[in-house]
Amino acid sequence: MRKLTSIAAVVVISIAHYSIMGYLGYDPAPEYESLMAWSFALMVALWCLDDAKKYNFHRPYEFGAFIFFLWPIVLPAYLIHTRGWRGALVFLAFLFIALLPYICGWVSYYASPAYSEYGV
C-alpha cells in the first residue's frame, strides 16, 4: 500500500504542475517532464517488485531494472502472467495514470484565458 501512496504523490504533484502551467499558457520545462517520467517509472518498478513478492513470482535479478527502463513493455507481460487477462485492465489503469497529468494540463490550458488569448 505504501508504494501506491508514492505513485499517487508523484501523480498528484505532476497533475498540479501541469495544470498550473497549462492554465498560465506555458509548456512544462523539459527537465521537469524528465524528472516526473523517471519518478513515475521508479515508483512503478518499486510497486512491481513488491507485488511480485506478494504473488510469489520468480523474478530474475534484473527484474526491477527491466521494469524501470521498459515499463510500458515489461509491465503488461508481468501483469498478464500473474493475473491473467485481468492484468491487461491493471496495465490500462497504469497507462491512464501515467497520462493523467498531460490530460489535466491540456484541459486546464483549453479552459484558461491563455487559450482564448493565444488560441484559435
Phi, psi of 55 (to 5 degrees): -90, 5
Mean pLDDT of 107-120: 79
Domain that holds residue 33: 2-118
Q: What is the pTM of this model?
A: 0.83
DSSP structure string for 35-63: HHHHHHHHHHHHHHHHHHHHTT----TTH
Residue 10 is predicted with a pLDDT of 87
What total number of domains does the chain contain?
Answer: 1
Whether the Cβ atoms of residue 25 and residue 117 lie closer than 8 Å to each other: yes
Q: What is the mean pLDDT of residues 99-114?
A: 90
For the chain, give the percent of residues with pLDDT over 90: 52
Q: How far apart are CA 106 and CA 51, in angstroms?
A: 32
Q: Which residues of 26-47 are buried (b: 16+ CB within 10 A; e: fewer)?
A: eebeeeebeebeebbbbbbbbb
pLDDT in tens, 6-48: 888 888 999 999 999 999 988 888 898 898 899 999 999 999 9
